[in-house]
Structure 1
Amino acid sequence: MSVMNICVNPFQVKSLFVLCKDCIKVSLTNCATSHLKPVVVGSQMRINNPFLQLPTGVLEELIRSFTDCSSGKPVENNILVHLITPQLQNMRFASYSEDCLRFFPYFENLQVLILKNTTANNFCLRSIGTHCAKLRSLDVSDCFYVSDSGIHWLFINVDNFEMVGKPHRTCNTLQHLNILQTRVTVCGAKMAIKYCPSLAILENDNTFEALVKLANKSTEKKINRHTNGYSSLRVLNIPCGMIYRSDSLRLVYCLYVFPLITSQFMQSKDLETVIY
């Protein structure tokens, strides 16, 4: 049989890695209700199940295969509990429930977290801010229960917007935040920009208005535009049709006050363009 025939054969032999992964998935499914669970002693996790001895990359690949949205069936947490370890750097939840909060204390080294199109809420964001000290990218787009309170709790450990609390370490690590199609308003977008100096990409329909308000504040207080203390925002989502209105003047103003912005995106239902 030729090499070409092997490549196009739908019944071709799976790689050793895929075979091993499938075998582990079967084992995990079979022991989902068994006694194999991680035991927490203080801040350390004592490994007493064989799955946690796998390399981190293999664990993340297994989690991805279990949480693949295309399967249509959300993975049960009693399966994920066998794979959660502090060494994980990438995590995606295809579905969310309050039971998921028990995993967050183990996410101390997590860098990428995706909760897109789930029922993740403000209490979830509070837990993320508390435990995910090295998080760089967070996607909670299409999460209806995420609002301004969640953004506040993500960065500041107090309930009252007016109070100055101790910032979470997430403030200094988060570079990408996707809060499109949530209940986050201009106020929440302003908080994200203000509290998170490392933030380079903020995906939200209110980002532009938030920047305008912060730019006005900087001008009123005569703050140097190069040292205004706000985020390192580099990408701006432009509201559909804005460049055809007088708002384009405000865009120029924002770009002056926030000189690090180098890319602007204009999005609509039928059009997406990039302006440099």
Structure 2
Amino acid sequence: MERGWGQKSSKVSDVVNPEVSSNPFEHLPTEILEEVVRILRKKKLMKKYLRWIILPQLHTLDLSLEGCEDRNKPVEKQMFEHLKCASLKCSMLKNLKLTHNVLNEENLIGFLPTFKYLQVLDLAWTSAGDNCMWALGTHCKYLRILSLLCCEVTDFGIQGLCLDYIEKEDDEDKRISKASDLEWQENCAPPRLSNSLEILHLNRTNVTDKGLQEALRKLRSLKILGHESTVEVLGEMHREDWENTEKRNKIPKYALSKILFDIRNEQTSIDRLQRMVFLCPSITGFKLCTIIDCCPNLRKLTLYKSGGKTGPIVEKKEYSNIQERKTLGKLQELTLRATKISTDDLITLMSSLSLKSIELEKCETFNDDILQQAYDQHSFPNLEYLELTKCHFFGEVIQ
């Protein structure tokens, strides 16, 4: 006989029995329920109590099987039941992770459309394919982050994600903006996935350059398009217009704020990177190691950030391997103006033996110690010009 609340038990698992007692988590507010989920996950008890936390007020659900070695039929059936339960109870779910889940695409297509308010969906290493993308494009209009790593998605699937794209949206937006009644505005401007999706991971899928082009053109809010060919594709999309100065200024800008590329890819040229940065004005950060690897013969480097504000100073640390530091060996002119840069990167830039000119303005990272370390390495034998402006953490100049 099943044990109830009033009976003694020697096992923790017997204390709460869903068959004969009410759910102790049922009336918890969302914030507390999410904290319970976090603790259960930390203590690796999620699998044991998963059925208890699938409730209407739940916003985040992790049904991934990453690291699970036993992915047999019983596990597949159990995942099916959990997802089915969530589709019936959690209509307001915002975050769903199904990484490495064993469910087939037919099951995914049956359940995913019920989560209309999803904002984050992780389908990496699942059976999700093109039909699944069309289901998402039809029903999940609020998605902001979608991971499809190692999924069988093709260009046809990208078409599904762009299903609600409106080419002449500017005219429609102007018409809607004139509406005085808020409710009427909302009715005229229904949510669209083509406007909401900000991060899309497509690495190791079957999406070709054609599919990437469609995603870039139609998913206007994309800040990150995770694919090894993003730089090449975007660089080639407007190559002809780029050659014409008049047409270049009419090329549409993109919302991408972060790009990832493989420096070993022969298709990643300096010209393409230049076009990429021009087309994506939101890209403001950089990794110095990328510049060093891509431009080993660089003679002049200027880094500028408008607004004059720099980030927090990186904590000082000792660099015992400064002699082994990889630098821009041919760099002659270095100019940094109101640039957020780490201590390590600044020392790297100032370690070039060929430096003739250094101009630093509002560089809060720069201090005596950095200059001393660079000086100890090569004594600046070719330096002809040094200008420091508003570098408040620099005190004593080396004699």
Q: Secondary structure at the match of 1:129?
A: helix
Q: Which of 269, 272, 280 pairs up with 1:247?
A: 269
Q: Which of 217, 227, 233 pairs up with 1:204?
A: 227
Question: Does structure 1 residue 104 correspond to structure 2 residue 129?
Answer: no
Which residues of 2 match residues 32-181 of structure 1 at below 5 A? 53-57=55-59, 60=60, 63-64=61-62, 66-72=63-69, 73=71, 74=76, 75-84=78-87, 85-93=90-98, 94-97=101-104, 98-143=106-151, 145-156=152-163, 169-181=192-204
Distance 1:263 1:192, change over 3 A: farther
Distance 1:230 1:156, change over 3 A: farther
Give the drift of 1:102: 1.5
Give the drift of 1:83: 2.0
Distance 1:181 1:68, change over 3 A: same
Q: Which of 187, 212, 222 pairs up with 2:247?
A: 222
- Stretch of structure 1 that moved more, 228-237 or 258-267: 258-267
- Stretch of structure 1 that moved more, 89-98 or 174-183: 89-98
Distance 1:51 1:197, change over 3 A: same
> Contact 2:108 / 2:128 at 8 angstroms: preserved in 1?
no
Spell out, residue by residue over 1:123-149, the C-alpha distance to the aligned partner (whole angstroms, 9 max, x if none).
Answer: 111111111110000000111x21111
Sequence identity (%): 24
Q: Which amino acid aligns with 1:256?
A: F
Q: For the residues of structure 1 that align with 2:267 and 2:203, how far apart are their CA atoms?
A: 23
Structure 1: runs of 5 or more not aligned:
1-14, 29-49, 159-163
RMSD over aligned Cα atoms: 3.7
Higher relative contact order (CA 8 A, sep 6+): 1
- Stretch of structure 1 that moved more, 231-240 or 193-202: 231-240
Q: For the residues of structure 2 that align with 1:89 and 1:188, how far apart are their CA atoms?
A: 27
Distance 1:202 1:102, change over 3 A: same
Give the drift of 1:206: 1.5
Q: Which amino acid aligns with 1:110?
A: L
Q: For the residues of structure 2 that align with 1:176 and 1:259, how far apart are their CA atoms?
A: 17
Q: For the residues of structure 2 that align with 1:152 and 1:165, how far apart are their CA atoms?
A: 18
> Contact 1:109 / 1:135 at 8 angstroms: preserved in 2?
yes
Q: For the residues of structure 1 that align with 2:168 and 2:133, how far apart are their CA atoms?
A: 16
Give the drift of 1:22: 6.6
Give the drift of 1:165: 11
Give the drift of 1:187: 1.0
Q: Secondary structure at the match of 2:128?
A: coil
Q: Secondary structure at the match of 1:102?
A: helix
> Contact 2:155 / 2:210 at 8 angstroms: preserved in 1?
yes
TM-score normalised by the chain length of structure 2: 0.48
Q: Secondary structure at the match of 1:138?
A: strand
Spell out, residue by residue over 1:233-256, the C-alpha distance to the aligned partner (whole angstroms, 9 max, x if none).
Answer: 1111223325x8881122113212
- Stretch of structure 1 that moved more, 79-88 or 121-130: 79-88
Spell out, residue by residue over 1:11-48, the C-alpha distance to the aligned partner (whole angstroms, 9 max, x if none).
Answer: xxxx98649967644xx4xxxxxxxxxxxxxxxxxxxx
Q: Which amino acid aligns with 2:58?
A: T
Q: For the residues of structure 2 that align with 1:165 and 1:118, how far apart are their CA atoms?
A: 35
Spell out, residue by residue over 1:158-204, the C-alpha distance to the aligned partner (whole angstroms, 9 max, x if none).
Answer: 9xxxxx79998111000000000011111111111100111000001
Q: Secondary structure at the match of 2:283?
A: coil
> Contact 1:147 / 1:184 at 8 angstroms: preserved in 2?
yes
> Contact 2:197 / 2:221 at 8 angstroms: preserved in 1?
yes
Q: Secondary structure at the match of 1:156?
A: coil
Q: Secondary structure at the match of 2:146?
A: strand
Give the drift of 1:259: 2.2
Q: Secondary structure at the match of 1:202?
A: strand
Q: Which of 209, 218, 234 pairs up with 2:257?
A: 234
TM-score normalised by the chain length of structure 1: 0.67
Give the drift of 1:105: 2.1
Give the drift of 1:264: 5.7
Pairs aligned (count): 220
